[in-house]
Chains A and B, each alone.
Chain A
Amino acid sequence: MSASLNRKPPLFPETEEPEPDMADEDSDEGEDIFVSNSKPESVSRGVSQPERVPEEPEDLFSEERCRSTKANGVHPDDDTDLFAEARTDFNSDKSSSSAQKELSDTPSTSSFSRTPAALHSTSLEQLEEEEAKSSFDVDVAVTNPEKVGDGMNAYMAYKVSTRSSLSMFKSKAFTVRRRFSDFLGLYEKLSVKQSLHGCIIPPPPEKSVVGMTKMKVGMDDPSSVEFLERRRAALERFLQRVVSHPLLLQDPDVREFLERDDLPRAVNTQTLSGAGFLKMITKASDAVSKMTIKMNESDTWFEDKFQEVEAEEQQLRKLHVVVDSLVNHRKELCVNTAIFAKSMAMLGNSEDSTALSRALSQLAEVEDKMEQLHQEQAASDFFIFAELLADYIRLLAAVRGCFDQRVRSWQRWQEAQSTLQKKREAEAKLLWANKPDKLQQAKEEITEVCLVHNIVTFLLFWSSCCGGRAVGCIISATKALSLLKQEQSQF
């Protein structure tokens, strides 16, 4: 039931075997870094699977074990340490041997006593044993879209199945039906709550009026089937990312989403609602404030990372555009080849020399077959390459959102500071003017403002830390694109 499977066209059936291991790897406990690291890693692994089938199982198990030797939960003291590892992990060229080497260094720093020998065993039973001990193990899948209702009120309901051994869930495996607005509602709630902590909330797929109306009207053409498939895959990726982030998993909203049979309809995700308009207005005001107030960046690390993220995003966008045009041209080629094949067949028919006539009709048949191949190619181009790119672009946008949060907290901090300043001045003035009752009021106000100021300062630095770590993961994930091009060369 792993996600990456569903995303691939049936061309890679033999990757089935290592898949379950990857899913379990996702569900690993341990540092949020590694877990979020594992997400891009598994994605890229999924894509490059064909080349590494014999090596994969070994690697996965060893890595998984390494992580399980880490302490559960977030350890602020180990922050820099782990982060450095995460970086080096992906700077190496993804060869399993080097990855193994890197990780085999870390157990020495862990507080758990686990023999290094455990690192190298590859048996399935040992993995399961690990799993039983690990406490973060959630596996979600989104399948089976069904049309519910009729006419303009129709919608697609997706089946969300969860398999988990975590104690916080009521049962081991359960299924609920959710619709697209439910996913959006979850995203909204999470971003409101968690973004203050500097987490990067994975982005949901976009709304599409055209696609949804087509579906509502009941048109059953291949493009709407495609649209549905894209949406389903994107929703699955979204959920998996949410679930593999330990902080987000703890959130009661997420649990409710996965478990509760009947979710209250998330109305504020509708574009035409009051909440929708409010969102647009806040977005506009944010954009304006971003332009007017420039934060003086004290931490160069953030400055660098921000530049990097922006550059990556631009590159990915360019690539996405080109890949899109490739897909379109290939579809055009399909159509043209089909037409040509038919015309050739007719020519062959009207030819009076029998040998040539046969040759021409055979040419027509070959062209027909080529057309089918081209179609397959176009489909796989699209599902693997283009969608992946779009996904990463959205993810990078979420990372930028995180940066923006930080800037916003900084702005609030500045405001709080200036308010504090003003209040202090007022107090001083009052002291000077010697009005005792007003003085008392002023003192109270100052304590209030001080409190706010402290809270905001704390949040700012907290978000800086969390955001920083998470950003590091995302940056390294884009380096996984170097594998993508290998994949592309096989097309």
Chain B
Amino acid sequence: MTSLDDNSKEKLRSVSVDLNNDASLVIDIPDALCERDMVKFTVHTKTTLSSFQKPDFSVPRQHEDFIWLHDTLVETEEYAGLIIPPAPPKPDFESPREKMHKLGEGEASMTKEEYAKMKQELEAEYLAVFKKTVQVHEVFLQRLSSHPVLSKDRNFQIFLEYDQDLSVRRKNAKEMFGGFFKNMVKSADEVLISGIKEVDDFFEQEKTFLLDYFSKIKDSTAKAEKMTRSHKNIADDYIHISATLNAICAEDSVGVEIRGLLEGRVASDQELKLTELLRYYMRDIQAAKDLLYRRARALANYENSNKALDKARLKSRDIPQAEEHQQQCLQKFDRLSESAKKELTSFKGRRVMAFKKNLVEMAELEIKHAKVSLTAHPIKHTV
């Protein structure tokens, strides 16, 4: 059931999500407002579950609320054996804002049409960033809702229902400090995970695979970002050229303009599909790695408890306590390993499906664009 749900959910990372057969909890973000530096999302829930007060309701949420939810989930002990979906990244309007600023400065040197066109392109870019961030937040919630265990989390329900400002539940100062501490722990974990001796073959494999894959996908993401940026630059250049040609010649340089728009569209599509895909999975793999860290920590605890038990036996003191402690650790570790195994296998399937879908979509879009550009300007010479 889990894998099926997850598969079908990962299928659509665009606006509409076909949320599995279980319609007991359907979440989407139909609306979002952008003010100054903040984005306010409207989280809309439709549910048949009795644990909620109403069957259909909406609440406004900010980005920080999402982060709070994610962190609480991570900190919950019971979910140590699960892959917690990665937190959505902060909405970043820096790049279009910068460009808008530059455009404003260079307004004097451009013709009116050029300026209008550049402005249009910028607005489109702004809109694209906006759509992306809404999407990412939506996916986060949807993954939570389709997970059998996580969807029942109390904090999750509060997040969905509580119609007043959630900020009272966020202790900001502690969070920031906690965040810093967490990073330190994480780097310690990296050392731990590479040093620990793995008993289980499956986990050994997974570990090597994930570590390797993570570094590669991080690399690919960075390169893909650079490539899309170059594409966008070229599209901008085309706009400038068409404007200047317009000024020189009486006739309209429509051909160049279309080319420019196409390039821009190709660039943004590529970005949306490919780069976003890579970015998302980079984060997801990080989440999987986190699971492995937790397990490794549990294992370390178990081994420590073993050592403690041995020491206690030696000293013949506190033996029952140590034994109990050891038992607890063992249990915890076993539970963790079991759920981790399940999660990781389903994760693999999910990943392959998502890649497939996005790559196919990207290829189809690029073919469409190429066809358009070919028919718009038939290449008259026979090459």
Contacts and interface: CB of A to CB of B under 8 A. Distances in A.
Contacts of B381: 11-12, 14, 50-51, 53
Contacts of A363: 359
Given A347-B216, A352-B209, A353-B348, A319 B241 contact: yes
B256 A485 contact: yes
B355 interface: yes
B220 A482 contact: no
Contact of B223 (A319, A330, A343, A355): A343
A318 B382 CA distance: 33
B213 A488 contact: no
Given A315-B244, A315-B248, A355-B352, A330 B234 contact: yes
Interface stretch (A28-36, A284-292, A331-339): A331-339
B249 interface: yes
Interface residues on B, range: 35 or more
Nearest to A371: B227
Contacts of B383: 11
A337 B227 contact: yes
A32 to B, nearest CB: 26
Interface stretch (A76-84, A295-303, A320-328, A407-415): A320-328
Given A347-B217, A485-B249, A485-B255, A322 B223 contact: no
Interface in A16-54: 50-51, 53
B216 A343 contact: yes
Contact of B377 (A11, A323, A490): A490
A179 B358 CA distance: 58
B352 A356 contact: yes
A379 interface: no
A489 B230 contact: no
A491 B249 CA distance: 18
Contacts of A326: 234, 237-238, 241
A488 B241 contact: yes
A301 B180 CA distance: 76
A337 B267 CA distance: 12
A359 B356 contact: yes
A449 to B, nearest CB: 48
Contacts of B295: none
B10 to A, nearest CB: 14
B220 A344 contact: yes
Contacts of B258: 489
A171 interface: no
Contact of A14 (B238, B247, B382): B382
A8 to B, nearest CB: 11
Contact of A332 (B233, B244, B377): B233
A312 B237 CA distance: 20
A206 interface: no
Contact of B219 (A333, A343, A491): A343
B223 A488 contact: no
A10 B267 CA distance: 29
Contact of A316 (B216, B248, B352, B377): B248
Interface string A124-139: 0000000000000000
Given A333-B231, A488-B253, A490-B379, A319 B359 contact: no
B69 interface: no
A333 B230 CA distance: 5
A339 B228 CA distance: 13
B170 interface: no
A351 interface: yes
Nearest to B231: A333
Interface string A370-408: 000000000000000000000000000000000000000
Contact of A347 (B220, B230, B251): B220
B308 interface: no
A329 B220 contact: no
A360 B356 CA distance: 10
A109 interface: no
Interface string B340-383: 00000000100010011001000000000000000001011111
A190 to B, nearest CB: 30
A346 B216 contact: yes
A319 B245 contact: yes
A323 B348 CA distance: 47
Contacts of B259: 489, 491
A356 B356 contact: yes
Counting chain A CB atoms within 10 Å of each CB, the highest count among B217, B234, B377 belongs to: B234
B129 interface: no
B230 A351 contact: no
Contact of B241 (A50, A322, A346): A322
Contacts of B359: 359, 363
A481 interface: yes
Task: Label chain A's interface by main secondary structure.
Answer: helix
Nearest to B233: A329
A340 interface: yes
Nearest to B238: A326
B223 A489 contact: no
Contacts of A352: 209, 348
A350 B210 CA distance: 10
B212 interface: yes
A486 interface: yes
Contacts of B229: 336
B317 to A, nearest CB: 49
A481 B348 contact: no
A298 B141 CA distance: 79
Contacts of A315: 244, 247-248
A469 B379 CA distance: 38
Given A336-B223, A336-B226, A490-B377, A485 B217 contact: no
Contacts of A485: 245, 249, 251, 253, 255-256
B240 interface: yes
Contacts of B251: 482, 485
B224 interface: yes
B34 interface: no
B199 interface: no
A488 B256 contact: yes
Contacts of B382: 14
B1 interface: no
Interface in B277-306: none
Contacts of A350: 209, 212-213, 216
Contacts of A491: 259
Nearest to A50: B381
B237 A322 contact: yes
Nearest to A341: B223
B248 A489 contact: no
B216 A489 contact: no
Nearest to A51: B380
Interface in B30-89: none
Contacts of B220: 340, 343-344, 346-347
A333 B236 CA distance: 13
Contact of A489 (B224, B255, B352): B255
B191 interface: no
6 contacts: A337-B230, A340-B227, A350-B209, A481-B249, A482-B249, A490-B255
Given A11-B383, A350-B213, 11 more contacts: A14-B382, A319-B241, A336-B230, A346-B216, A347-B213, A350-B216, A355-B352, A356-B355, A481-B245, A482-B250, A489-B253
Pick the 4 closest A-B CB pairs, nearest first.
A489-B255, A50-B381, A333-B230, A326-B237
Interface of A: 11-12, 14, 50-51, 53, 312, 315-316, 318-319, 322-323, 325-326, 329-330, 332-333, 336-337, 339-340, 343-344, 346-347, 350-353, 355-356, 359-360, 363, 478-479, 481-482, 485-486, 488-491
Interface of B: 209, 212-213, 216-217, 219-220, 223-224, 226-227, 229-231, 233-234, 237-238, 240-241, 244-245, 247-251, 253-256, 258-259, 348, 352, 355-356, 359, 377, 379-383
